[in-house]
Amino acid sequence: MCMRIRSIGVHALGAVLLTAGLHANAAAVDPAIAAARAKVFGPAHVNPDTGEVSKDLVIISWITNASFAASVKGRVVLLDTFVTRLEVSPGRTPFVIQDLVDLHPEAIFLGHGHFDHADNAAYIAGKLGIPIYASTETCDNMQLDAVKIFGAGSSVNCIDITSRGSLPGSEVIKIDQLEPVATIHAFRHLHSTNTAPQDTTFPPVVVHVPVSGACAPPCNLADPRDAALFPAGTPLSTVLDISTSRTGFGGPISIYYSFRLHGDNHFTFVWHNTTGALREGCALPNNVPGTSPPVPSQPGQNALGCFGPAVGQKLASLMQSMGPTDLEIGSVVSLGYGINGERDIVDYNTHIAPKVFIPNHLTAVAVESSSLEWKVGYRMEQATMGIPESSRPELLWLVDPNDYLRPLVFDPSDARWAKPEQDD
């Protein structure tokens, strides 16, 4: 299987101008920027006058589901933009869409194009004039969203980071957006799926057995007290439709991102918002609607969504080659949960080999307040798969809504992240 490596530069004038403004003309900075950044990254890490975020730290802040705001030594980006229970006023989710606009990220990275990841992306990007990085197919949807939100003839700067129809793992893309602070590499990987076969090499752990009509895979249960503790407010969608388009084939085409800092122990973190079946090379089917029998829309993928074990092994090798990895921010929720438990999550852990794991995708598919059930299943799956304690990453588990906007702070210069000498 051939692999193509190419480099993508920074195309967003808005991001360049914003960075220049924060550094060169502090008096001109909108106070809303500093306020939003203090809310998201913590007031201790944000200059209240300039809005600058600490330049010696990596700060990760959860904004629901698989979406995060990240400050990479002061460079602010969004990893996905969907917000669970986004309301007109702060409620169970303690912020509103304007807070994400006021945050002034310089770029948006989308893991894939389903609504529970890509909603709000075109709106934020269009408001700020910043780039969206996504697959070509997901970028198609972003342009549809721009027209719906901003009117005929509108567009957003969506940067295609993999070629249309390319096989997972066949291209590794170098993204220059955060240079000279960090280099980003990206490639297509596998969306989670319920079409992979039953793995007979270990007993899968299914915490809640599916019950017909009551609980279907991935079977997870909400805390019945949740509704009383956090009564519903007015959904933003009733006054402003900034959801993403459901047309085209961009939904399940998934991108894996690796961020590697220059200097400071080459602190490295990866982010993926879905976790597919590496062993079989299977992902969510992406068939042409209305075809019978189903016709796959993606080259190399069959009607069950499988590319084959060779593609899965290629992806596993890529993950390993980008190590050592300090931090994995990865989806712990898999559509294959009812078949193979959380096997696929453990497999990604094994190949990425992070020191620390921050699970995500915990408020969509995984219902709100079900986070700790997934933790139980994950821990049990590690045991049934024979993963020794010494090979398991440290867990920084997220529980909603407690951990929304709780800054997770990493000092890249800490000796914990020391690695063998490597060229930049």
Give residue limits of the domains in the chain. Answer: 4-412
pLDDT tens per residue, range 84-116: 999 999 999 999 999 999 999 999 999 999 999
Name the DSSP class of 411. Answer: -
Pick from 83, 131, 382, 125: nearest CA to 235: 83
Rounded distance between C-alpha atoms, residue 108 and residue 131, angstroms: 6
pLDDT tens per residue, range 151-200: 999 999 999 999 999 999 999 999 999 999 999 999 999 999 999 999 99
pLDDT tens per residue, range 30-77: 899 999 999 999 999 999 999 999 999 999 999 999 999 999 999 999
Q: Which helix (H) or strand (E) holds 202?
A: none
Identity at 192, one-letter amino acid code: S
Identity at 246, one-letter amino acid code: R
- Chain-centre distance for alpha carbon 120: 14
Rounded distance between C-alpha atoms, residue 406 and residue 404, angstroms: 6
**pLDDT value, residue 423:** 55
pLDDT tens per residue, range 332-359: 999 998 899 999 999 999 999 999 999 9
**pLDDT value, residue 20:** 35
**pLDDT value, residue 81:** 98
**pLDDT value, residue 18:** 40
> Helices 13-24 & 121-128, crossing angle to 10 degrees?
60
Residue 422: count other Cβ atoms within 10 Å of its Cβ.
Answer: 8
Inter-CA distances, 99 with 33, 244, 358, 379, Å = 9, 19, 23, 35
**pLDDT value, residue 213:** 65
Q: How far apart are the first and last CA of the chain?
A: 26
Pick from 196, 203, 200: nearest CA to 341: 203
Report the sign of the C-alpha dihedral through residues 205, 211, 216, 221, in that order. negative
Q: How many CA atoms, within 13 angstroms, populate the side-chain half-sphere of residue 56?
A: 4
Percent of the chain with pLDDT over 90: 84
- Chain-centre distance for alpha carbon 147: 25
Q: Which region among 73-77, 257-261, 310-314, 338-342 has the lowest average model confidence (pLDDT)? A: 338-342
**pLDDT value, residue 28:** 58
Does residue 374 sit in helix, strand or coil?
helix
* Average pLDDT for the chain: 92
Is the domain defined by 4-412 classed in CATH 3.60.15.10? yes
**pLDDT value, residue 19:** 40
Specify whether the CB–CB gap between 88 and 239 falls below 8 A. yes
Looking up tokens 């499988």, which residue turns up? 306
Token digits of residue 146: 């721009």
Specify whether the CB–CB gap between 244 and 119 falls below 8 A. yes
